[in-house]
Amino acid sequence: MSGRLGEILLRESRISLQQLQLALEHQRSHGGKLGEALVNLGFLTHEHVTEALAAQYGIPSVKLSEFPVDPAVVKLIPMEMATKHHVLPLVRTGSSLTLAISDPSNVFALDDVKFLTGLHIEPVLASETEIDQAIKNHYGTAEDVARKKEIDELVSFLDEGTAESVELDEDEEGTLNLADLERAAEEAPVIRLVNYILMDAVKRGASDIHLEPYEKDYRVRYRIDGLLQSVMNPPLKLRDAIISRIKIMARLDIAEKRLPQDGRIMLKLMHQGKRKQLDLRVSVLPTLHGEKIVMRLLDKENLRLDMTKLGFEPESLEKFQKAIFKPYGMVLVTGPTGSGKTNTLYSSIAQLNKEDTNIMTAEDPVEFQLPGINQVQMKEQIGLNFAAALRSFLRQDPNIILVGEIRDFETAEIAIKAALTGHLVLSTLHTNDAPSTISRLMNMGIEPFLVATSVHLICAQRLVRRICSDCKIPDPASPQVLIDAGFTPEEARTAMPYKGKGCNTCGGRGYKGRVGLYEVMEITDEIRDLILVGASALELKRKAIEQGMITLRRSGLIKVKSGMTTLEEVIRETVL
Ligand SMILES: [Zn+2]
């Protein structure tokens, strides 16, 4: 066979006769296949060998990295078999299975897969390195595999031991048998599974856990660094037991299945040898196929109170700190949900927290408890909203007031009044950038002169993912691409973007952690004049840039240049 491979390569002038002889010698002394010898000696690439082999065996070759692989089909054979034979199942059509294989002469591989799947095998050729890489990608890392095994064992134990008792039925009137629900939720394996889900989320640094019932399956997803990813699919029949267990932990009503519920779980656990307390905010919402649960992990250690580490450019940070250390005026932090506004506000407060200062906060919800701060949880049901809390705060002799969010005229009006009467007011608004915040306040009904005199600074922000420092590599882009993204022509000539190649540290994603982008707009005398004459957000933006404001996009580009994040992240999160 190998003689024929040599012939094909010679005939197509891929190699010289001398190279073939050297490779055959190499093969004799080192063993292995002729193709490998040719690659090892540097005469050919893996791709060339694959093409030649495809010609030799008369089967097609594929480029796996460009081939859409069906995850359900991959699971037809276990990872051990795929690794041993260097094969990967690609597509199933009726009773035949397309199988990527690196050595079509390996009849054992073809037999094993055929025996296991009972399908007719259609081999296609791919290089061994490509297949091994694809196996890693599709079956996950060793850690993932071990994790999956652990879950499978847990679930199979549940299946065998307690399947009957976790099957929950409604009685004839459609009411639930409470005793059954409680018993099911107290079954040790259910407890272990739920604990496992919580622990695993902590270990992986997730910010949220989603448990979602669908018509035919049940899905658990984690949000890690801002993106959701599927982590497991427990059997659908465990749905009710899992939900009940979490409801019990969160002290919610396990019999109530028609209305949304909110609760909280406090957990003490050991993580990396340290005792730590974890706070979970639990939300239960009835969906079409059962109750969906979302748990937000409030981990104090993830809260970064050191303002210099959040990602502010030095000149922006200086302006921001100057504003929060003034004894009065309003400082607004804006951005969409999940852009890190709370973190910025908490770190501001942590800096201002002194014995001689009375700090009051109105929050919905109180996410983290900070010592020495008077934090008040809003309760809409009893009329304790932001406006009502603010009004009471003014009678509590405050120096600094934090209002969770300004979303209506009433709150805005009292906040401005507080800022104009000798208090520092910190708050957030849902706006896209710093300049448009001014028009948002006016649209709520606030007079321009009140906005102009009370607001001292506006900080818009976003979070982007940080490139994993363990697998960071240069990722060159053409000067035109860089210029289109907002770099100046001079910068585009020298800037070198980076990306993460993917490694064990970052779970193959190339990113680990996040960093903020900040646009800090000071209300200078010129800007104040513009506000008073009713200038548009665009005019305000131009003036602010002229006065040195770093925009969100610019803040991102600076971090692309320093290799902190990728161009894609910045383009996705900001506008030019
Ligand atoms: Zn990495």
Q: Report the separation in Å between the CA atom of 276 and the middle of ligand 1, taken as the mean of its atom positions.
A: 26
Average pLDDT, the chain: 86
Q: Report the separation in Å between the CA atom of 499 and the middle of ligand 1, taken as the mean of its atom positions.
A: 10
Q: Report the separation in Å between the CA atom of 89 and the middle of ligand 1, taken as the mean of its atom positions.
A: 27
Q: Which two tokens stand for residue 397?
A: 């002799």
Q: Which pLDDT belongs to residue 172?
A: 40
Q: Report the separation in Å between the CA atom of 570 and the middle of ligand 1, taken as the mean of its atom positions.
A: 19
Could you identify the residue written with the tokens 């490779």?
A: 23
Q: Report the separation in Å between the CA atom of 466 and the middle of ligand 1, taken as the mean of its atom positions.
A: 10
Q: What is the pLDDT of residues 2-30, one digit of tens each?
A: 457 888 888 878 888 888 888 888 888 88
Q: Report the separation in Å between the CA atom of 454 and the middle of ligand 1, taken as the mean of its atom positions.
A: 46
Q: Report the separation in Å between the CA atom of 311 and the middle of ligand 1, taken as the mean of its atom positions.
A: 20
Q: What is the pLDDT of residues 323-364, one digit of tens each?
A: 999 999 999 999 998 899 999 999 999 999 999 999 999 999
Q: Report the separation in Å between the CA atom of 381 and the middle of ligand 1, taken as the mean of its atom positions.
A: 47
CA separation for the pair 197, 220 (Å, rounded): 8
Q: Is the pLDDT of residue 423 over 50?
A: yes
Q: Which pLDDT belongs to residue 164?
A: 33
The CB density around residue 546, as the number of other CB atoms within 10 Å, is: 9
| Prediction pTM value | 0.65
Q: What is the pLDDT of residues 486-538, one digit of tens each?
A: 999 999 999 999 999 999 888 888 999 899 999 999 999 999 999 999 999 99
Q: What is the pLDDT of residues 191-208, one digit of tens each?
A: 878 888 888 888 788 889
Q: Is the pLDDT of residue 392 over 70?
A: yes
Could you identify the residue written with the tokens 């009140």?
A: 450
Q: Which two tokens stand for residue 485?
A: 């993204």
DSSP code at position 310:
S
For residues 70-109, one letter each, b for 16 or more C-beta atoms within 10 angstroms of the residue's C-beta and e for the rest, the string is eeebbebbebeebeebbbbbbbeeeeebbbbbbbbeeeeb
Give the SS3 label for residue 336.
coil
Q: What is the 3-state secondary structure (H, E, C) of 213-274?
A: ECCCCEEEEEEECCEEEEEECCCHHHHHHHHHHHHHHCCCCCCCCCCCEEEEEEEEEEECCE
pLDDT band at 167 (very low <50, low <70, confident <90, very high): very low
Q: Report the separation in Å between the CA atom of 510 and the middle of ligand 1, taken as the mean of its atom positions.
A: 5
Q: Report the separation in Å between the CA atom of 192 and the middle of ligand 1, taken as the mean of its atom positions.
A: 31
Helix 525-532 vs helix 537-546: crossing angle, to nearest 10: 170
Please answer whether residues 367 and 338 qualify as being in contact, where contact means their C-beta atoms are separated by less than 8 angstroms.
no
Q: Is the pLDDT of residue 459 over 70?
A: yes
Long-range contacts of 18-21 (CB under 8 A, 24+ apart): 19/43
Lowest mean pLDDT among 75-89, 202-216, 233-247: 75-89
Q: Report the separation in Å between the CA atom of 571 and the middle of ligand 1, taken as the mean of its atom positions.
A: 21
Q: What is the pLDDT of residues 250-291, one digit of tens each?
A: 999 999 999 999 998 887 776 666 777 778 999 999 999 999
Please answer whether residues 9 and 41 qualify as being in contact, where contact means their C-beta atoms are separated by less than 8 angstroms.
no
CA separation for the pair 363, 173 (Å, rounded): 42
CA separation for the pair 406, 390 (Å, rounded): 11
Q: Which pLDDT belongs to residue 188?
A: 66
Report the residue count for the chain. 576
Backbone dihedral angles phi then psi of residue 151, each to the nearest 5 degrees = -65, -45
Please answer whether residues 509 and 468 qualify as being in contact, where contact means their C-beta atoms are separated by less than 8 angstroms.
yes
CA gyration radius, the chain: 30
Q: Report the separation in Å between the CA atom of 457 and the middle of ligand 1, taken as the mean of its atom positions.
A: 37
Q: Say if strands 290-298 and 208-213 run parallel, antiparallel, or are unpaired.
A: antiparallel
Give the SS3 label for residue 316.
helix
Q: Report the separation in Å between the CA atom of 472 and the middle of ligand 1, taken as the mean of its atom positions.
A: 7
Q: Is the pLDDT of residue 182 over 80?
A: no
Higher pLDDT, 56 or 533: 533
